[in-house]
Amino acid sequence: MSGSERADAVRSAVGGLGRWVSELRWPEVPAEVRERLLTVLVDSVAVTALGSRAPEQRALVTAWDPPEGPAPLFGTGRTTSVDAAAWLNAIAAVRLELDDGHRLAAGHPAAHGFPAVLALAARRGASGAELCAALLAAYEVAARFGRATRLRPGTHPHGNWGVTGAAAGCARLLGLGPAETAVAIDAGGGLPVAGPFSAALDGNPVRDAWVGAANQSGLVAARLAASGGGHLTGVAADALGDLLGELDPAVLGAEQGRRWEVLGGYFKQHSSCSFTHAAIDVALSLRQQVGPDPDQVLVEIHSLGAGLARTDWPTPLAARFSLPYVVATALRRGRVGPAEFAADALADPATAALARRVTVRAAPDLDARLPAERPVRLTVSTSDGRIVAEAPNPIGDAAHHPFSADDRVRVLGDLLGDTDVVAGVRERCAVLPDAADAAADLRALGALTHAR
């Protein structure tokens, strides 16, 4: 396919997505999809509130000095402008590596669009049904672009294909028609961040800011379309395609209204990169047998995760992307939550010593199981012998012990240290679709998540 043919195909697919988004009606969405979307919303609000409590996030908000406004900063008790809320809530959502994701999209559709959509809804006063339709549109469009995009090796998925979802959701809230919504999605496809994966391995927090930029860019794309100054060209064919990797237009337009991406996502229970979760699950399952300080641990993993092999972690983010650290932490401490990335945990000499005895190796037989699975195999050696165990996917994946809505409340309550708050968030989200004006409900959600 030539470059012009590829752009034409992307332009046609985006036009179809624009029609689908503008015509989406929340009451007509299958009940299973509506329930799942609300569970993702509960998850997003809760992990954003948890991320807002991190000292680094509090320092960022102080340095940002955001103005007063209508949009809640979840977990802070404050409200601010639409743009500041979109940026800061997005960074908080991904700061602890607890936000949900989508294995086949290879990234995080919700984090890339929900903060912008929620902030804009708090300003415009959309109905609850319209807000839910916009959130669903944001997730579905972002996940489709994620599945359609194959990024160049070494490119991080934060901040690039997900901009299209933020643009779609914001366009829906602005009441744009099919053509204008397509223009917004198209513009979002032309506003990607080219972020190196090495930033995450190095622990550079600019990696979190890419998601803030994606939400802000989604607002920009929707406003551009609302101004009447946009032009649908299929720009993602070059931006996400030639420049950043490859883009398959056929994935963008397939099975609209029949395939629901939100049903294929995963939820997290460990505060680390999703590529590490299956290894953590296996390590925790073996802990009673091998003890907290085995002689050697071999982690065999698919090539997507084999680069997470560093045995030094200058920042909490770097530790979240270190298989040696999280496996050693799981064995020594019995969990890998936010507290396991505090300064004392990162400086623990016994954990560091065990991490140096963790070897990470790519395994061709595990690569062959991608993308349907993201498998891992651990071989743990002790004075009593060797134990080998593996997992096909992390617990919480749609294809492997998926979490129900009740499960998610339990896990989030444990992470937040307050199940009542999570239950309250769930109750408010459950009635949100019936709200005449969602703005007040969103501010109430913000107040509910404020740690006192």
As to burial, measured by CB atoms within 10 angstroms (0-12 exposed, 13-18 middle, 19+ buried), residue 196 is middle
SS (H, E, C) 332-394: HHCCCCHHHHCHHHHCCHHHHHHHCCEEEEECHHHHCCCCCCCCEEEEEEECCEEEEEEECCC
> How high is the pLDDT of residue 452?
53
Q: Is the pLDDT of residue 27 over 90?
A: yes
Is beta strand 296-301 parallel, antiparallel or unpaired with respect to 358-362? parallel
Share of the chain above pLDDT 90, in %: 90
> How high is the pLDDT of residue 311?
96
Phi first, then psi, for residue 79 (nearest 5°) are: -125, 155
Q: What is the mean pLDDT of residues 171-196?
A: 97
At 213-259, the pLDDT tens digits run 999 999 999 999 999 988 999 999 999 999 999 999 999 987 777 89
**Residue labelled with tokens 């802070």:** 76
3-class DSSP assignment, residue 125: coil
As to burial, measured by CB atoms within 10 angstroms (0-12 exposed, 13-18 middle, 19+ buried), residue 114 is buried
**Residue labelled with tokens 């509910």:** 448
> How high is the pLDDT of residue 417?
86
3-class DSSP assignment, residue 286: helix
Q: Is the pLDDT of residue 59 over 90?
A: yes
94's tokens = 């991904």
> How high is the pLDDT of residue 12?
95
As to burial, measured by CB atoms within 10 angstroms (0-12 exposed, 13-18 middle, 19+ buried), residue 407 is middle
3-class DSSP assignment, residue 400: strand
Cα separation, 168 vs 70, in Å, equals 22
Q: How far is CA 174 from CA 76, 142, 225, 399, in A?
A: 27, 18, 10, 35
The conformational region for residue 41 under phi > 0 = left, psi -120 to 50 = alpha, else beta, is alpha
What spatial distance separates the first Cα and last Cα of the chain, rounded to whole Å?
58
At 346-377, the pLDDT tens digits run 999 999 999 999 999 999 999 999 999 999 99
Cα separation, 221 vs 224, in Å, equals 5
150's tokens = 């194959």
Cα angle at 26 between 21 and 27, to 5 degrees?
140
Q: How far is CA 443 from CA 37, 125, 180, in A?
A: 20, 11, 29
pLDDT grade, residue 451 (50/70/90)?
A: low
> How high is the pLDDT of residue 4?
79
Neighbours of 264 (CB within 10 A): 18
Q: Which of 2-16, 163-177, 348-362 has the lowest mean pLDDT?
A: 2-16
Structural domains in the chain plus CATH codes: 3-269+410-448 (1.10.4100.10), 274-391 (3.30.1330.120)
Write down the mean pLDDT value for the chain. 95
Q: What is the mean pLDDT of residues 54-66?
A: 96
Q: How many alpha carbons fall within 13 Å on the CB side of residue 411?
A: 25
Cα separation, 401 vs 424, in Å, equals 25
For the whole model, what pTM was predicted? 0.96
Report which DSSP code applies to 196: B
430's tokens = 């459950």
Helix 178-189, helix 3-23: angle, nearest 10? 130
Report which DSSP code applies to 240: I
3-class DSSP assignment, residue 160: coil
